[in-house]
Amino acid sequence: MTEACSHGIKATDVVLRSLFGQCDDAPLASTLLGLLAQGQPVTSAALAGAVARAPEDVARQLAAWPNIERDGDDAVVGFAGLTLRQTAHSFDVAGRQLHTWCAWDTLFLPALLDTTARVRSTCPVTGVGVELVVAPGGVQHAQPAGLHVSFPPPATTDAADVTGSFCCHVHFLAGAAAARSWQNAHPEGEVLDLAAACARGCHVRANP
C-alpha cells in the first residue's frame, strides 16, 4: 500500500466514524439510518419507540453526535451521508427519492441499508450525467464507463463539519480525462477509480 493510499484510508476512516457515531451506539445509528431511508423526517420520539428506549436517552445521544441535519421541528432529515434535502447526488431506494451528501456515500450506503439504490449525479468537469445501480454487494451498473471519484486532501477533513470539509469535494468524474483534469486542478487531493473507491468504503466499514 502506498503512503498516499494509507493516508487516504485513514482520512476516510475518520469521516466514517464522524458520520455514524457507531463507535458508541451502533443499534441506534443503524435504526436511525433505516428510518430515514423511509423518506420521512425522524423525530426523537419515533426513534426511541423503534429501539424501545427512553426518549430522553435517545435525544441525549443524538445531541452528542456531529453531522446530523434537522428540520424546523427538530426532526432528523440527514444522517450518515443520507439526506432528505436535495443535493447533487440523487439516491432512489424502492421508489423513494432520497439524496446523499457526496458521491462516495452512494457506494457504501446500499450495504448499510441492505438495499439496492439507483444513483444519479453529474460530473463537475464535463457536465456529463452519471448513473449507477448499487446493490449491497457492490456496483451492478455504472454509466458512463471509466468513472472515478475525487477526494480532498486528508489534512483538510474536519470531523465536526464533514459536509463542509469533505463531502463538498467528493464527486463522480466521467472518464480518465476528467479525472486527470480534476487531479491537475487539485494536486493535493486524490482521485480513485470506481473499484478503488468502493474498496475503500469496504475497508472503513470493516474497521469501525
Q: Decide if 101 contacts 167 (C-beta within 8 A).
A: yes
Catalytic residue among 105, 123, 198, 202: 105
Active site residue 168: no
Active site residue 105: yes
Q: Kindly tell me the sign of the dihedral angle through the C-alpha atoms of 153, 173, 201, 48.
A: positive
Catalytic residue among 25, 102, 123, 198: 102
Which cell numbers hold the place of 170?
467528493
CA 11 to CA 4: how far, in whole Å?
Answer: 11
Give the H or E element holding residue 199: helix 194-206
Catalytic residue among 25, 123, 167, 198: 167
Q: Decide if 41 contacts 73 (C-beta within 8 A).
A: yes
Which cell numbers hold the place of 34?
433505516
Active site residue 167: yes
| Residues assigned a catalytic role | 102, 105, 167
